[in-house]
Amino acid sequence: MKFNGKVTPKEINQWLKDLEQVFDKFLEENKMSYAIYTLFGEVEHWWISTKVIMEERSELALEEEKA
């Protein structure tokens, strides 16, 4: 069950249903890691870029709190 973002709405819904079924067996803290594992291609690159941006913003917020 991989997801590259180049799918129809029907395929997206199926991917989400499949994730929900798998998530029933996962601890909450493991769900995000598994969802990320299913990404590949352009959507994986999007996630990596988004994660970097979110981490940078988080670091800036922490620095502002310390000041």
Instruction: Kindly report, residue by residue over 46-62, the tens digit of the pLDDT.
Output: 999 999 999 999 888 87
Average pLDDT, the chain: 91
pLDDT-derived band of residue 38, with 50, 70 and 90 as boundaries?
A: very high
Buried b (16+ CB within 10 A) or exposed e, 27-56: eeeeeeeebeebbeeebbeeeeeeeeeeee
Identify whether the C-beta of residue 42 lies closer than 8 Å to the C-beta of residue 6. Answer: yes
Global confidence as pTM: 0.72
Statement: residue 67 has pLDDT above 70:
no
